[in-house]
């Protein structure tokens, strides 16, 4: 609302505080501030009294004390003698890990499902509509628990892989799907592996250089160089050659059944997989709807005009439709990424050691420091949320339609 | 022209129209156009068909062989005798607990059931505008009736609570002709005075031999708890959301700043942490001797949560209104409250209804999260008490599928309603 200013009518009277638009907003704000301050004072006073009655005080000393509990999945070194703050950091890293993985796969699922839902193929589009409706209308917590149940109750135990006639067999002799999680080969960095890694990085740089060169050639001469296959070749051939020349410095450590469980390899625990997969397919359904809306928002005339220029369907999609659709897709995509990060706190339901489970779960229960733990937890999520939305807004602005 | 009799043959009648080739009609044409238009399309069809076949071939026999009458999982397995089949007996046996929770007295099941059916009469006039406006009276009384039916206890509590609202409204009606702010504040003050006096009016042992025996909040559970949380929090958060949205759009910097901080803070943290606040932290902020029960604390936090999201949806609606509407309201000489009530909000709310319904659906799904703070809603009951009984230990799909189905039916129903509403409210002729 635009504000209308009353004409100056001379001296100040008390009634002008409420009747004069010049002072009224100030009056209201002062009243609001007083009410807010009073309620905060009331709550704070209650808090102080309650804490005194319970013999507590607000202190963050517990963060330095030994935690005394184990965490089954950690990205950094951690044992039960580490401090509570280190347990919290382990949890934070686990949260970031699952959020990152889920964002990645949810985008893939979502884009696939969104594009396929617009397919001319009746069966495929109906199947995708079914997928979207089923996942959007059932709580994510139920999905997490269903997938966790599949992982823990339906998958074979590690001992099923034993014996001459095992009940279960490993996929390609390298992947084992058990009720404790999935075992995959882990890379082993032998001497000289640094060269292979550097070659890989150089290949990626090479791909960018080549693509830039291709674009430049296209603009200068109109000649279209192939990009896809040369990129693939650039990505793989130098690394494989270097690997062979140096005598396989980068090896793989296969999981082997020994004792009661697999040893070696890399274990991805069942809770992580359940959470990751459930968040991906759940959020994928929402992203699919965003993608569909984005593509449908590009007017059909654009596709037809591109077709009239003689572009092939693939190029129409990548050069005309997608760049315009992305502007519509990206803002809701940001909030879906935020949702994934926040929903990863449901890890506590399946026992994945994210920050809600370590700081907000075991640490809180052991130390009884409810206020401190919950405040730290909120602070963490708030920081993450604000960071993601800030970063994505920068990107959003960079693809925004430049209007003049 | 020459004589036509010399030419070999000229047809004198028109050829009757013949039916199109078999490949261009009916089912075959449909199949060709929709399933096998191109080779990649055909491959996709075959893959999709195979996926559907795989899913159906495992699910249909499982449901078909389902056992509906047994007292435990092992008895189910005996009846099934090695064949694959579901054990739906758990649903028939545990149905009341899945719906009403573990501890709700079984003689009183009719009360929440009645409250549930009354909900349709209360919600109908709000959802469908063609119904007679007089039905809104049911909506007006519904919260008090439902509270009394579900919690039981003395009838004085809901009656006096209603009296507070009624007195507040009457005072508001008197004062609003002068100014909206005076009416609003006066109404609130009078309502609080009535409630304060009412606190002394209800005698101490009133609930002991009341018409409906009292039920404690901790005895509520099952899908009923999800419904109660969903309905209560959504209906409470809409007015708060409107206030927050108006506050965020306000020209008063202090109010705007408070609203922005509140909204961004709530939207930045996951609901679980807010539920932690409700379960372990909020008690510290109430007066030491008071005991505010967990249900109320959870309602407070979930309402704050959804109010922040609804505020953002309504802000979108406010921003989508053309500036001319605001200017028109000014030019008519309406003050802020009048302009908002009569011109801006009706239009802004109409734009934001689909968004609000989306939030409502999301919130209803999120009520399952209370199982994390050990409240036994349907999911909490399935994960806790049900799976720890010896009779039903190890049963997953039937109960989880049942819970999923309940949520699907409700949420899909609401979203279909929202789409209908969107079509219904599309008054701009495009």
User: What is the tens place of the pLDDT at every residue in B62-107?
Assistant: 888 888 888 888 888 888 777 788 888 888 888 888 888 888 888 8
Tell which B residues from 352 to 371 touch A, by Cβ distance under 8 Å.
361, 365-366, 368-369, 371
Per-residue pLDDT, averaged over A158-184, amounts to 72
pLDDT at B207: 66
Residues in A closer than 8 angstroms to B267, CB to CB, are 385
Q: What angle do CA A72, A75, A80 make, to 5 degrees?
A: 45
According to DSSP, the residues that pair with A183 across neighbouring strands are: A176, A267
Q: For position A7, what pLDDT does the model report?
A: 58
Does A20 score more than 90 pLDDT?
no
DSSP state of A344: G
Q: Does B396 reach chain A within 8 Å, measured CB to CB?
A: yes
Longest CA–CA separation in chain B, Å: 119
Q: To which residue do tokens 């505020």 refer? A: B311
Q: Is A358's pLDDT higher than 60?
A: yes
Residue B345 predicted with pLDDT over 80: yes
Q: Name every residue whose Cβ is closer than 8 Å to that of residue B103 and which is 6 or more positions away in sequence.
A: B218, B219, B221
Question: Cβ of A360 under 8 Å from any chain B Cβ?
Answer: yes
What's the average model confidence in pLDDT over A25-46?
Answer: 89
- Cβ-nearest to B285 among A1, A33, A43: A43
A28 touches chain B (CB under 8 A): yes
CA–CA dist B194, B163 (Å, integer): 7
Residue A382 sits at the chain B interface (C-beta within 8 Å): yes
Please give the mean pLDDT across all residues of chain B: 85
Cα nearest neighbour of A26 on chain B: B252
Q: Which residue has the tokens 């001797």?
A: B289
pLDDT higher than threshold 70 for residue A403: no
Question: What does the buried/exposed string (b/e) look like for B69-87 if buried means 16 or more CB atoms within 10 Å of the residue's CB?
Answer: ebebbeebeebbeeeebbb
pLDDT of A243 strictly over 80: no
Whole-number pLDDT of residue A82? 77
Whether residue A145 lies within 8 A of chain B, CB to CB, comes out as yes
Our measurement of the distance from residue B5's CA atom to the centroid of its chain's CA atoms, rounded to an integer in Å, reads 83
Predicted structure pTM score:
0.85
CA distances from A188 to A77, A175, A192, A196 (A): 18, 16, 11, 12
User: Residue A285: is its pLDDT beyond 90?
Assistant: yes
Please state the separation of Cα A333 from the chain's center in Å: 11
Interface contact flag, A386 B268, Cβ < 8 Å = yes
Q: What are phi and psi of A257, to 5 degrees?
A: -75, 120
Confidence of residue A168 (pLDDT cuts 50, 70, 90): low
Q: CB–CB of B372 and A149 under 8 A?
A: no
Residue B372: predicted pLDDT: 87
A149 and chain B in contact, CB less than 8 A: yes
pLDDT range class, residue A37, cuts 50, 70, 90? very high
CB A157 within 8 A of CB A178: yes
Residue A210 CB neighbour total at 10 angstroms = 15
The answer, for A142 touching chain B at a CB cutoff of 8 Å, is yes
Residue A242 has pLDDT above 70, yes or no: yes
pLDDT tops 90 at residue A198: no
Q: Is residue A5 over pLDDT 60?
A: no
Q: What is the 3-state secondary structure (H, E, C) of B212-280?
A: ECCCCHHHCCHHHHHHHHHHHHHHHHHHHHHHHHHHHHCCCHHHHHHHHHHHHHHHHCCHHHHHHHHHH
B415 part of contact set with chain A, CB < 8 Å: yes
For A339, nearest residue in chain B (alpha carbons)? B270
Question: A138 to chain B: which residues are within 8 Å by CB?
Answer: 365, 404, 407-408, 411
Say which residues have a Cβ less than 8 Å from residue B95's Cβ, sequence separation at least 6.
none
| Beta-carbon separation of A378 and B273 below 8 A | yes
Cβ–Cβ of A32/B258 closer than 8 Å? yes
Q: CB-side exposure of B169: number of CA atoms within 13 Å?
A: 7
pLDDT tops 60 at residue B4: no
Report how far Cα B296 is from the mean position of its chain's Cα atoms.
19
How many CB atoms are located within 10 Å of the residue A87 CB? 28
pLDDT at B8: 75
Q: Whose CA is closest to B382, among B368, B397, B400? A: B400
In Å, how far is A205's CA from the nearest CA of chain B? Answer: 34
Among A98, A131, A126, A99, smallest CA distance to A286 is for: A131
pLDDT tens-digit map of A64-73: 777 777 777 7
Express each pLDDT in B240-295 by its tens digit: 999 999 998 888 888 899 999 999 899 889 999 999 888 888 888 888 777 778 88
Q: Which of residues 181-210 of A touch B (CB under 8 A)?
A: none
Q: Give the pLDDT of residue A305.
A: 94
Judge: A139–B366 Cβ closer than 8 Å, yes or no.
yes
Instruction: Count other Cβ atoms within 10 Å, centred on residue B6.
Output: 6
State the average pLDDT over residues A277-283: 93
**Who among B285, B407, B411 is closest to A46 (CB)?**
B285
Say what the pLDDT of residue A41 is: 93
- Interface touch A139/B379, C-beta < 8 Å: yes
Contact check, Cβ <8 Å, B379/A145: yes
DSSP state, residue B4: G
Q: What's A366-386 look like in SS3?
A: HHCCHHHHHHHHHHHHHHHHH
Q: How confident is the model at residue B412 (pLDDT cuts 50, 70, 90)?
A: very high
**With an 8 Å Cβ cutoff, is A233 touching chain B?**
no
- Phi/psi of residue B212, nearest 5 degrees: -110, 125
pLDDT at A166: 67
CA distance to partner chain B, nearest, from residue A195 (Å): 42
Rounded CA gap, A244 and A237, in Å? 11
Q: Which residue has the higher pLDDT, A216 or B201?
A: A216
Instruction: Determine contact: B331 vs chain A, CB below 8 A.
Output: no
How far is B288 from chain A, CA to nearest CA, in Å? 6
Q: How confident is the model at residue A278 (pLDDT cuts 50, 70, 90)?
A: very high
Q: Answer whether B254 sits within 8 Å of A33, measured CB to CB.
A: yes
Pick the more confident residue, A64 or B119: B119
B114/B116 Cα distance (integer angstroms): 5
Q: What is the C-alpha separation between B321 and B103, in angstroms, rounded?
A: 50
**A138 reaches B (C-beta below 8 A):** yes
Option in A36, A121, A149 nearest B45 (CB): A121
* B329 chain-A contacts, CB cut-off 8 A: 1
Task: Compute the distance between CA of residue A224 and CA of residue A219 in angstroms, rounded to an integer.
Answer: 9
Q: Which residue of B has its CA nearest to A19?
A: B179
Looking at residue A142, its pLDDT comes to 92
For residue B3, what pLDDT is reported? 58
Contact B243, B262 (CB under 8 A): no
Residue A334 touches chain B, beta carbons under 8 Å: no
Highest mean pLDDT among A157-166, A189-198, A296-305: A296-305
Sheet arrangement for strand A176-178: A176-178, A181-184, A266-269
Q: Is the pLDDT of residue A158 over 70?
A: yes
Cβ-Cβ contacts under 8 Å between A and B: the total is 165
8 A C-beta contact, residue A229 and residue A222: no
Which residues does chain B have within 8 Å of residue A371's beta carbon, measured at their own beta carbons? 281, 284
Torsion, Cα A77 A81 A86 A92, to 10 degrees, reads 70
Kindly report the nearest CA distance between residue A334 and chain B, in angstroms: 13
At A10 the pLDDT is 63
Residues 84-103 of A with CB under 8 A from B: none
**Residues A299-349: pLDDT tens digits?**
889 999 999 999 888 888 888 888 888 888 888 888 888 889 889 998 888
Partners of B403 on chain A (C-beta within 8 Å) are 142
Kindly state whether A393 is in contact with chain B, defined as any CB-CB distance less than 8 angstroms: no
Question: A124 and B281 in contact by Cβ < 8 A?
Answer: no
Q: How far is CA A248 from CA A185, A189, A190, A191, A234, in A?
A: 15, 10, 8, 9, 19
A92 vs A16: which has the higher pLDDT: A92
Residue among A28, A136, A377 whose CB faces B273 most closely: A377
* Residue in B280, B401, B409 to test binding to A, most A beta-carbons within 10 Å: B280
> What is d(CA A262, CA A77) in angstroms, rounded to the nearest whole number?
21
CB contact under 8 A, B272 and A346: yes
Does the interface ipTM go beyond 0.90?
A: no
DSSP secondary structure string for all residues of B37-64: SSHHHHHHHHHHHHHHHHHHHHHHHHHH
What DSSP designation does A168 have? S
Task: Judge contact between B408 and A134, C-beta under 8 A.
Answer: yes
Task: Calculate mean pLDDT across residues A392-402.
Answer: 75
Q: Has residue A280 got a pLDDT over 90?
A: yes
Mean pLDDT, range B307-325, rounded to an integer: 90
Enumerate the residues of chain B whose CB falls inside 8 A of the CB of residue A2.
Answer: 326-327, 330
Closest CA–CA distance from residue A164 to any residue of chain B (Å) = 26
Q: Concatenated DSSP letters for B58-113?
A: HHHHHHHT-B---SSHHHHHHHHTTS---BTHHHHHHHHHHHH-SSS-GGGTHHHH
Look at residue A225 in the predicted model and tell me its pLDDT: 78
Contacts of A383 (CB under 8 A, 6+ apart): none
Asked if A289 and A114 touch (Cβ cutoff 8 Å), the reply is yes
Whether A45 has its CB under 8 Å from any CB of chain B: the answer is no
**Sequence-separated (6 or more) residues with CB below 8 Å from residue A108:** A284
Residue A307: how many other CB atoms lie within 10 Å: 13
Higher confidence at residue A80 or residue B303? B303
CB contact under 8 A, A121 and B326: no
Window 99-128 of B, Cβ < 8 Å to A: none
The encoded tokens of residue A394 equal 């920068």
What percentage of chain A reaches a pLDDT higher than 70?
Answer: 90
Task: Locate A268 and state its tokens.
Answer: 């991805």
* Interface probe with B: pick from A45, A123, A393, most Cβ of B within 10 Å: A123
Cβ distance of A2 and B412 shorter than 8 Å = no
Phi-psi region of A305 (alpha: psi -120 to 50; beta: other; left: phi over 0): alpha
């Amino acid at each position: 609302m635009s504000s209308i200013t009353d004409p100056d009518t001379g001296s100040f009277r008390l009634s002008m505080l409420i009747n004069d638009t010049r002072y009224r907003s100030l009056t209201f704000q002062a009243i609001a501030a007083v009410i807010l301050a009073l309620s905060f004072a009331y709550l704070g006073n209650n808090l102080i009294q309650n804490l005194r009655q319970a013999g507590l005080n607000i202190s963050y000393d517990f963060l330095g004390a030994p935690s005394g509990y184990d965490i089954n999945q950690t990205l950094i070194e951690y044992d039960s003698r580490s401090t509570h703050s280190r347990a919290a950091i382990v949890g934070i890293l686990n949260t970031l890990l699952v959020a990152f993985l889920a964002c990645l796969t949810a985008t893939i699922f979502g884009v696939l499902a969104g594009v396929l839902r617009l397919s001319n193929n009746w069966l495929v589009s109906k199947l995708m509509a079914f997928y979207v409706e089923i996942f959007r209308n059932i709580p994510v917590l139920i999905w997490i628990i269903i997938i966790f149940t599949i992982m823990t109750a339906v998958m074979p135990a590690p001992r099923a892989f034993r014996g001459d006639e095992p009940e279960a067999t490993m996929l390609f002799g390298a992947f084992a799907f058990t009720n404790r999680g999935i075992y995959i080969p882990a890379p082993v960095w032998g001497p000289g592996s640094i060269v292979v890694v550097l070659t890989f990085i150089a290949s990626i740089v090479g791909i960018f250089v080549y693509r830039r060169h291709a674009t430049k050639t296209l603009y200068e001469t109109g000649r279209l160089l192939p990009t896809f296959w040369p990129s693939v070749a650039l990505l793989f051939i130098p690394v494989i050659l270097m690997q062979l020349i140096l005598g396989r410095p980068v090896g793989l450590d296969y999981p082997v059944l020994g004792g009661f469980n697999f040893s070696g390899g890399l274990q991805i625990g069942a809770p992580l997989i359940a959470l990751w997969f459930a968040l991906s397919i759940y959020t994928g359904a929402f992203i699919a709807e965003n993608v569909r809306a984005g593509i449908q928002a590009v007017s059909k005339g654009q596709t037809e005009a591109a077709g009239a220029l003689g572009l092939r369907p693939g190029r129409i999609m990548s050069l005309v439709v997608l760049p315009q659709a992305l502007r519509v897709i990206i803002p809701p995509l940001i909030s879906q990424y935020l949702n994934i990060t926040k929903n990863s706190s449901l890890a506590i339901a399946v026992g994945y050691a994210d920050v809600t489970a370590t700081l907000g779960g075991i640490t809180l229960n052991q130390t009884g420091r409810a206020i401190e733990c919950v405040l730290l937890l909120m602070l963490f999520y708030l920081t993450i949320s604000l960071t993601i939305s800030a970063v994505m807004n920068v990107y959003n602005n960079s693809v925004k339609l430049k209007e003049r | 022209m020459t004589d036509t009799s010399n030419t070999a043959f000229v047809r004198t009648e028109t050829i009757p129209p013949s039916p199109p080739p078999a490949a261009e009609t009916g089912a075959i044409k449909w199949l060709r156009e929709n399933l096998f238009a191109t080779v990649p399309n055909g491959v996709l069809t075959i893959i999709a068909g195979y996926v559907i076949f795989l899913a159906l071939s495992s699910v249909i026999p499982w449901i078909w062989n389902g056992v509906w009458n047994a007292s435990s999982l092992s008895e189910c397995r005996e009846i099934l005798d090695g064949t694959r089949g579901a054990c739906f007996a758990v649903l028939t046996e545990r149905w009341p607990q899945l719906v009403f929770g573990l501890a709700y007295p079984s003689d009183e099941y009719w009360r929440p059931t009645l409250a549930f059916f009354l909900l349709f009469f209360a919600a109908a006039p709000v959802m469908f505008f063609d119904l007679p406006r007089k039905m809104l009276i049911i909506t007006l009384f519904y919260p008090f009736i439902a509270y009394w039916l579900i919690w039981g206890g003395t009838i004085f509590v809901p009656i006096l609570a209603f009296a507070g609202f009624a007195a507040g409204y009457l005072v508001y009606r008197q004062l609003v002709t002068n100014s909206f702010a005076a009416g609003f504040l006066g109404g609130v003050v009078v309502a609080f005075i009535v409630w304060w006096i009412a606190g002394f009016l209800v005698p101490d042992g009133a609930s002991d031999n009341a018409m409906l025996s009292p039920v404690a909040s901790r005895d509520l559970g099952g899908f009923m708890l999800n419904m109660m949380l969903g309905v209560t929090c959504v209906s409470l958060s809409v007015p708060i959301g409107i206030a927050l949205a108006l506050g965020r759009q306000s020209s008063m910097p202090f109010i705007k700043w408070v609203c922005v901080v509140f909204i961004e803070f709530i939207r930045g943290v996951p609901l679980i942490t807010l539920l932690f606040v409700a379960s372990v932290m909020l008690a510290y902020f109430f007066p030491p001797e008071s005991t505010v029960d967990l249900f109320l604390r959870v309602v407070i936090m979930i309402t704050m949560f959804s109010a922040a999201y609804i505020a953002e949806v309504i802000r979108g609606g406010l921003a989508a209104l053309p500036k001319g509407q605001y200017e028109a309201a000014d030019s008519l000489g309406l003050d802020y409250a009048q302009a908002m009530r009569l011109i801006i909000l009706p239009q802004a709310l109409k734009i934001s209804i689909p968004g609000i319904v989306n939030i409502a659906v999301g919130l209803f799904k999120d009520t399952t999260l209370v199982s994390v703070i050990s409240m036994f809603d349907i999911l909490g009951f399935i994960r806790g008490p049900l799976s720890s009984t010896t009779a039903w230990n190890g049963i997953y799909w039937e109960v989880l599928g049942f819970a999923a189905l309940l949520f699907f039916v409700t949420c899909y129903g609401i979203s279909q309603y929202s789409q209908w509403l969107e079509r219904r409210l599309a008054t701009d002729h495009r």
